[in-house]
Each structure stands twice: as C-alpha cells, then as structure tokens.
C-alpha cells in the first residue's frame, strides 16, 4: 500500500473517530476483550421514516482470520 493511501485512510479514520466517539469506544471495548468463534454480531440500520432492518452473523474462524489480516493492514 502506498504512503498516500495510508495517509488518506488514517485521515478518514480520525474523522470517523471525531464524529462518532461513542461508537468507537464501543468497538474498542468489544475488540479489547476479543471476539471468539461463535460470537453473534448484530447490526440494525434505521433510515429516517423507514422501519429498522436488522441482520446478524455468527463468527466463524475464517472471519477471525479476515479481521486479523485487516488489523495488520492498519498498523
């Protein structure tokens, strides 16, 4: 990954953290304890004027491997 791309990603990460500090703190708390196989992750999206849409996944070993690779990219 080239340095310009890394700087762009880091800038976007900082902006996201500044805009959503509670969500970032939530993610840090969850990931500090660790995600293990069998954990259920659920997300709900509610658009203005619409009913919520919810989905979830049950974490598999391959998901954990993907998360580890993504974590390595952001170091």
pLDDT of residue 67: 82
Q: What is the mean pLDDT of the chain?
A: 91
Question: Is the four-CA dihedral 17, 22, 25, 31 of positive or negative sign?
Answer: negative
Q: What is the CA radius of gyration of the chain?
A: 15
Which residue(s) pair with 69 in the sheet?
none
**Predicted confidence (pLDDT) at residue 50 exceeds the cutoff of 90:** yes
Percent of the chain past pLDDT 70, that is, above it, reads 96
pLDDT at 51 over 90: yes
pTM recorded for the entire structure: 0.63
pLDDT at 43 over 90: yes
pLDDT band at 75 (very low <50, low <70, confident <90, very high): low
């Amino acid at each position: 990954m080239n340095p310009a791309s890394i700087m762009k990603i880091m800038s976007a990460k900082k902006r996201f953290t500044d805009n959503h500090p509670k969500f970032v703190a939530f993610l840090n708390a969850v990931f500090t304890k660790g995600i293990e196989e069998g954990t259920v992750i659920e997300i709900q999206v509610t658009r203005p004027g619409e009913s919520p849409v919810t989905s979830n996944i049950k974490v598999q070993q391959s998901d954990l491997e993907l998360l580890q690779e993504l974590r390595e990219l952001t170091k």
